Structure 1
Amino acid sequence: MNGLLTLLGIESWKPIAGALLLPPVPLLLLVLIGARLILPRRGLGWFVVIVSVIGLWLGSCVGTAQLLTTVALKPPKPLSLSDIAELKDEARARKPVAIVVLGGGAEALAPEYGVANLKPWSLERLRYGVWLNRETGIPMAMSGGVGWGALPDSQTEAQIGARIASQEFGRPLKWIEDTSRDTRENALRTVALLRADQINHIVLVTHGTHMPRAVKLFEAAAGGNIRIQPAPMGLAKSNRAPWLDWVPSSQGFLQVNAVLHEFAASITGA
């Protein structure tokens, strides 16, 4: 799919396509279609309206997001204590290994800080990468430029992340990849950057829902010469009463949308 978009010169349309094809836009259109059908075909019209409302309800539930994540994405398990211990041993032995944090969006200007800032998903990933860096001693990289939907003169995710990692966490980045615009370019350009330093083991940090696609793209970019070890985060279960997970909420809507985005991107190769 990326190849087709590149061939047609419309890669920058990806954010628009995502906004139009993912909920709630298709379901809202179905409601309007169903309402129009009520006049000439009352039964069919009401059926379409009811299906659309059910879709909107389920599409805004945390429970739906968790179910879809398990069934459709199958994210890998988080790093275990033994995994952390092995990484510490690699760092002590000075083996060529790197922690790579993938960007997840940035704010052009956060008024409360007076500078550009990372969006919550990016900041969560960076925090976990910093924690791994502190626990293991493995040097850290961040990959992220200006996404397709951002203004072209925006500061890159990796540049913002480097400032936050150094100034706020006291853990400077060793590598910065700031020219990529999506996960596919994250993989291609980060692998090339680290390969120049003979890195043969990447500990990849991103959200669990994003991890299956990210690992697949990084492994393809590495060509079997670099080990890609997933270090997923953001997979904590809800601590609310179970029935509340099936009540629509803004949190549920965002989570379902993220899962469907990843699923759609995986099956299309985007």
Structure 2
Amino acid sequence: MTAIFVLWIPSTAKFADTLLNSLERHYPPLSVERTETAGAIVVLGGHDAFDRLYQGIRLYRAKKSPLIIISGRGGVISDKKLMMQLLNELDVPESSLILESSSRNTRENGLNTATILKKMDLSRVILVTSAFHMKRALAVFVSVGIEAIPAPTTSEQKLRSSELPLLDWLLSSRALEKSTFAIKEYIGLIAYRQLGWIE
């Protein structure tokens, strides 16, 4: 019975919305027009990689920075040929792109990006990642000496599509997926603090 309860609660839209909101509320969506300019746009690979890449392209085309650094692996970002085809179709020249594909986690995203920026004498970037991941990513970038302007992708929460409160407590595989993202992110925050990688 306990196991069923433990699985059921994270599988509800009510729980998933609440947990994700606790992470995302610190970094609400910001329009491209209101985003400040910087030396580079850093797009992190991972979950929702296509959304992150698209956000980076939007910022580039709005002339918020002349350079896009793509750091890490995940989705379309891992397929260089597909990514370059997409960028070319959206008028982003290869000369405006730096691909850093060795990072395996957020910590390495920060360290490897810092190395790239140091060589280019840059220290200020626009950081693009999922809203629920922004808190940890931003803390990592600050810890390695990078001034980062958060530019989160669209919020992951808002799963509920009904005005009937009872439906918020029904089982949903999508809700469980979202709860899993949030739980993993909280574990990541705790682990990074324990390791001294972030404050």
TM-score computed with the length of structure 2 as normaliser = 0.81
Superposed CA deviations along residues 172-200 of structure 1, whole A, max 9, x for unmatched, are: 44211111111110110012102211222
- Larger gyration radius, structure 1 or structure 2: 1
Give the match for residue 71 of structure 1.
Answer: 22
In percent, how many aligned pairs have the same letter?
Answer: 30
Q: Which letter maps to 1:70?
A: N
Q: Which letter maps to 1:261?
A: K
Note closer, same or farther for the CA distance 1:230–1:164 as it changes in structure 2 (3 Å cut): farther
C-alpha separation in 2, matches of 1:66 and 1:239: 8
Note closer, same or farther for the CA distance 1:221–1:159 as it changes in structure 2 (3 Å cut): farther
Q: Secondary structure at the match of 1:123?
A: helix
* RMSD of aligned residue pairs (Cα, Å): 2.7
Q: Which runs of 5+ in 2 are unaligned?
A: none
Asked if structure 2 preserves the Cα contact closer than 8 Å seen for 1:143 and 1:176, the reply is yes
Q: Secondary structure at the match of 1:228?
A: strand
Give the match for residue 57 of structure 1.
Answer: 8
Q: Does 1:254 align with 2:196?
A: no
C-alpha separation in 1, matches of 2:152 and 2:77: 23
Q: Aligned-pair distance for 1:69?
A: 2.1
Note closer, same or farther for the CA distance 1:143–1:165 as it changes in structure 2 (3 Å cut): farther
Note closer, same or farther for the CA distance 1:158–1:215 as it changes in structure 2 (3 Å cut): farther
Q: Which runs of 5+ in 1 are unaligned?
A: 1-48, 88-95, 106-120, 147-154
Give the match for residue 80 of structure 2.
Answer: 159
Give the match for residue 170 of structure 1.
Answer: 91
Asked if structure 2 preserves the Cα contact closer than 8 Å seen for 1:79 and 1:232, the reply is yes
C-alpha separation in 1, matches of 2:179 and 2:160: 18
Give the match for residue 31 of structure 1.
Answer: none
Give the match for residue 144 of structure 1.
Answer: 72
Q: Does 1:265 align with 2:188?
A: yes
C-alpha separation in 2, matches of 1:204 and 1:161: 22
Q: Secondary structure at the match of 2:59?
A: helix
Asked if structure 2 preserves the Cα contact closer than 8 Å seen for 1:158 and 1:177, the reply is no
Give the match for residue 49 of structure 2.
Answer: 122
